[in-house]
Structure 1
């Protein structure tokens, strides 16, 4: 396909990249690439997403959306659609020889909290999440060039030139590889992956439909091997299956493990045989196979998340076992971290050194989530508070400066620099309402401290007397909802902006 005739889904023409000035090229239209493109579009950054496939990903694979990711989607304006399309994970039901053995709680129940508007995970088929993000991107004026494959990259001091399979090229100031675990961009950059196989046995994942009455939709059905506890899952050492109803649609997601040395058969007949061999259902009970794929669970981390003007995000940077539902969520949050930094550099002229903090912050988090996913896969950790990702933060980041607390004062969870800013009352509303949008937020709590002149478009200032979670003082909250700086006076804020290359937040900078 010629580059100047690429079309988006729905037949809407995409402007030829050869004729456009593209600031950011995003390679891959999965959850990572679409999230990043949405964030850049609302910041006025000219970005283009290119996708090798001719359409959006068709399967339910990454179906668990964690509370922290729901907060990201809230900020991007899509959480209503996500919640409408999703549902709470059903309680597990253990089966043995066609007989129900009892319910099994797969997830620790979260405690309700006013600091987190979304308490637990939501199940949404990955294809539906991508449809929602794609619709939001087009609403924001962005686009995806489907059927466009990047085969190589060349960098110079001013930008990146991407070579395409059809012989065309795209020029951009920066590029982001969001093209999955087998990332062609990562390979082109020569960046290795450290890690390996979590489970040597192949697994099958498929979207299926089941004859009415053959299996209820009230439970997440688990079929462990003889003698294995359901918590062992893939660590059981034998064949197993899990069949989960997907909310809002007639489909179920099937996950099956194979230990006979054979590769999974992805044909409808093969999927039916896998169900019949591991459950009390017959092959005929599977009325339709809508999508199927196979994989071997891996845990691998890219040796670097950046090479010059090219960044790695999502599965291109870290590959997870699906256990615990961390892959998609960690990936979306990569994009959320990178988006505001690219926007602040490209739209507002911040020092490019700000971009160095992407790898500094996200590679540590990805490593931690890889370890958690692996432990859950092996049955040594549960799906609890850590999987919800609300406690992740950047206290050790060079962008985090805690000057409000005195030496020796315990760091209260959620209110120290580097932490996710918890929701709290602000005047007649809520802090999360004030945070929503691409700006920084300066929260002044029970203080009349003077403030330096700040760019009112880049920094929104809010005063509150409420001290339910926040001690008296000043809190500069980043666009991604993490506290960057805490302090008591404007001089401390000035020093922070200078030291972190964020002088652009000051008025007249």
Structure 2
């Protein structure tokens, strides 16, 4: 017999699982987070946090910690075969704007991202999942310790080789290019400045070696084509004046580009690499996983199956789109395109991703402006702070533009924000309801529409 439980079991304690744990924690949803490995991931792998992810971290109250731990992407310095050098950038730095406070990607080694997200989170290390049984109202989970747990929901955030996905029998469609591999290592070294991301091109625009300084550490991330040489030998072959003094985490990446055919089966969900794996080109994978968790957490808190159905509705198309972007960038590397290193496509910042036209996007205006239901809620300056200050937290938020009378009585915080009308592109009295994940849910001129929306979504 299934024992009724409100628990959510999160399988996997990478950035996706840890973000979800933080979301559930602040929504008051009990959870357990289990991780098969005996320790958190200790490599630099996904080292770039996109602007939209920084907004998520702002909402979670962690942005100052991450800004202190990370740094801007340095200019690249190519060491040319003829002995010369050439300096260039992945993208030009962007100035903050009233609507976009964090316009640039932040470099933070993945181990540090996990460490910061894990602070205060009771991760059960060395604990894996071996069985799942769907039951009415929940899921029975068997742990590798032999313990059997009844949970309301299970979220597989356990990576590209996801045990949860395999237990569900969900297809993982796509391609693996065994011949397209990259060696990655974290190294300490002497004889090289930390002001640049150093690259050594090979013949005919091929890639030979990269050494990227990791902010807040004395480590570099080494990247190179697979080779029988050790990291020290790879570096010495490129420049004998550089000496590798220590080698930490190492890995060999292979081009594995895949997406799950479904993100939900019953009361079990997939998120992050368990749902989609990307080329590292463009820094999209880790960021997309964090935003999967940010989307799913508040929906689990509602307990509404209809609301939870919108997780796949919203995130699967986003994952497919992002997968296409990272794959195109990967192909440019493989093909040796001259501008293969450029990362100036605005889509990479993930600020333009939206859920327009989906179930939870209620746009009631006949003449909507540039910012509509389903869009990311932009920031804007206010007389005493910013719009993001009002949105921060586990609640939905009502923003009232040009509203001269009293604000409607609703079970969510409501604020007059007429000063932000230009950024939100509103005309006349307008009510904008922002979801707990800071996407716009409902835009209307009638308070009854907002109340109906809140009731439908259990907010």
Q: Same fold (TM over 0.5)?
A: yes
> Against the structure 1 CA distance between its residues 362 and 31, is the aligned structure 2 distance closer, same or farther, given a 3 Å change threshold?
same
User: In the alignment, does 2:437 pair up with 1:460?
Assistant: no
Checking the alignment, whether the CA contact within 8 Å between 2:373 and 2:441 is kept in structure 1 is: yes
Checking the alignment, whether the CA contact within 8 Å between 2:407 and 2:414 is kept in structure 1 is: no
1:245 aligned residue = 213
Once the 2 structures are TM-superposed, how far is the Cα of residue 448 of structure 1 from its aligned partner?
Answer: 3.3
Residue 245 of structure 2, aligned match among 287, 302, 310? 287
> Against the structure 1 CA distance between its residues 198 and 281, is the aligned structure 2 distance closer, same or farther, given a 3 Å change threshold?
farther
CA distance in 1, matches of 2:296, 2:162: 18
User: In the alignment, does 2:323 pair up with 1:355?
Assistant: no
**1:140-178 CA deviation, whole Å, 9 max, x = no partner?**
xx4111010111211101211111222222221000000
Once the 2 structures are TM-superposed, how far is the Cα of residue 111 of structure 1 from its aligned partner?
Answer: 4.5
> Against the structure 1 CA distance between its residues 204 and 83, is the aligned structure 2 distance closer, same or farther, given a 3 Å change threshold?
same
Residue 90 of structure 1, aligned match among 71, 74, 83? 74
Checking the alignment, whether the CA contact within 8 Å between 2:442 and 2:453 is kept in structure 1 is: yes
Residue 70 of structure 1, aligned match among 51, 54, 67? 54
The SS at the match of 1:34 is: helix
The SS at the match of 1:72 is: helix
Checking the alignment, whether the CA contact within 8 Å between 2:4 and 2:152 is kept in structure 1 is: no
2:199 aligned residue = 222
The SS at the match of 1:322 is: coil
1:309 aligned residue = 267
CA distance in 2, matches of 1:250, 1:367: 36
1:8 aligned residue = none
CA distance in 2, matches of 1:185, 1:421: 33
Q: Which runs of 4+ in 1 moved over 6 A?
A: none
Query: How many residue pairs align between the two structures?
Result: 446
2:109 aligned residue = 125
Alignment of 1:50-61 (within 5 A): 50-61=34-45
Checking the alignment, whether the CA contact within 8 Å between 1:427 and 1:464 is kept in structure 2 is: no
User: In the alignment, does 2:233 pair up with 1:273?
Assistant: yes
Q: Specify every segment of 5 or more residues in structure 1 that has no aligned partner in the other structure, as ranges.
A: 1-18, 229-235, 259-263, 346-350
2:434 aligned residue = 477
CA distance in 2, matches of 1:144, 1:98: 51
2:443 aligned residue = 486
2:389 aligned residue = 433
CA distance in 2, matches of 1:109, 1:199: 35
CA distance in 2, matches of 1:441, 1:128: 31
Once the 2 structures are TM-superposed, how far is the Cα of residue 30 of structure 1 from its aligned partner?
Answer: 0.3
Alignment of 1:54-453 (within 5 A): 54-97=38-81, 99-135=83-119, 138=120, 142-197=121-176, 200-211=179-190, 214-228=191-205, 236=206, 239-258=207-226, 270-277=230-237, 279-281=238-240, 285-345=243-303, 351-379=304-332, 382-384=342-344, 385-406=346-367, 411-412=369-370, 415-448=371-404, 452-453=408-409
Once the 2 structures are TM-superposed, how far is the Cα of residue 98 of structure 1 from its aligned partner?
Answer: 7.4
> Against the structure 1 CA distance between its residues 199 and 368, is the aligned structure 2 distance closer, same or farther, given a 3 Å change threshold?
farther
Checking the alignment, whether the CA contact within 8 Å between 1:22 and 1:171 is kept in structure 2 is: no
**1:461-509 CA deviation, whole Å, 9 max, x = no partner?**
01122222121411000011110111101133244345xx22x34xxxx
Instruction: Output the aligned Cα RMSD.
Output: 2.1
User: In the alignment, does 2:19 pair up with 1:35?
Assistant: yes
Checking the alignment, whether the CA contact within 8 Å between 1:93 and 1:100 is kept in structure 2 is: no
CA distance in 1, matches of 2:177, 2:88: 24
Q: Specify every segment of 5 or more residues in structure 2 that has no aligned partner in the other structure, as ranges.
A: none
> Against the structure 1 CA distance between its residues 98 and 188, is the aligned structure 2 distance closer, same or farther, given a 3 Å change threshold?
farther
Once the 2 structures are TM-superposed, how far is the Cα of residue 201 of structure 1 from its aligned partner?
Answer: 2.3
**1:343-394 CA deviation, whole Å, 9 max, x = no partner?**
122xxxxx32100000000011111111111112223774121111111111
> Against the structure 1 CA distance between its residues 449 and 419, is the aligned structure 2 distance closer, same or farther, given a 3 Å change threshold?
farther
